[in-house]
Amino acid sequence: MSELAVKTVSAAKWGLLSAVAKFAMQLGVNIAVARLLGPDSYGLFALATLVLIFATFFSEFGLGWSLMQRETIDEESIRFVFTWQCISGLLGAAIMFVGAAAAAKFLHEPRLTEVVRWLALTCIFNAVASTASNLLRRELRFKEQAIVQVQSYASAYGLLGLPLAALGFGVWSLVAAWVFQAFLGAVLSFRCRPHPSRLLFRVAKPREFINFGFIVLVTNICNWLLLNADRFLIGRILGTHSAGLYAVGYNLASVPNGLLISALQPAFLASGARLQDQIPTLRKAYLEVQSFIWMVVAPVFSALALSGSDIVRILYGPNWDESGRVFVLLLMVMPAYLAWSMTTPILWNTGRRRLEVLCQIPLLLGGLAALVLASRFGLVAMAGVAAALIFLRFAVLAVPAARALKLSGATVLNLFCRAVMLNGLVLASGYLSGLIADHLNGHALLLLLSRTGGSALIAVLLWVSVPKLLGQPAATLLTRFLPTNSWLTRHFARHFSGTSTTR
Query: Tens-digit pLDDT profile for the chain (503 aa)?
Result: 555 555 555 555 665 666 667 777 777 888 888 888 888 888 888 888 888 877 766 665 556 666 666 667 788 888 888 898 888 889 889 988 999 999 899 888 899 999 999 999 998 998 899 889 888 878 878 778 878 888 899 899 999 999 999 998 989 999 999 999 999 999 999 999 999 888 888 776 666 666 666 666 677 777 777 778 888 889 888 888 888 889 888 888 887 776 666 656 555 555 444 555 578 878 888 888 899 999 998 998 988 888 888 888 888 888 788 899 999 999 999 999 889 888 877 887 777 767 777 888 888 889 999 999 999 998 999 999 999 999 998 999 899 989 888 899 899 999 999 999 999 999 999 889 888 887 777 677 777 888 888 888 899 899 999 998 999 988 888 887 777 778 888 888 888 875 544 34
pLDDT for the residue numbered 214: 66
Compute the distance between CA of residue 451 and CA of residue 300 in angstroms, rounded to an integer: 12
Q: Is the dihedral of CA 72, 75, 76, 78 positive or negative?
A: positive
- What is each CA distance from 17 to 144, 259, 455, in whole angstroms? 12, 10, 24
8 A C-beta contact, residue 240 and residue 43 = yes
Cα within 13 Å of Cα(228), Cβ side: 16
Looking at residue 334, its amino acid is M
Cα within 13 Å of Cα(195), Cβ side: 30
pLDDT for the residue numbered 336: 93
Q: How far is CA 7 from the centre of its chain?
A: 22
Compute the distance between CA of residue 421 and CA of residue 290 in angstroms, rounded to an integer: 16
pLDDT for the residue numbered 277: 57
pLDDT per position as a tens digit, 322-368: 899 999 999 999 999 889 888 877 887 777 767 777 888 888 889 99
- What residues have CB less than 8 Å from 129, skipping those under 6 apart? 182, 185, 186, 189, 190
**What is the maximum alpha-carbon separation in the chain?**
73
Residue 497 dihedral angles phi and psi, to the nearest 5°: -60, 140
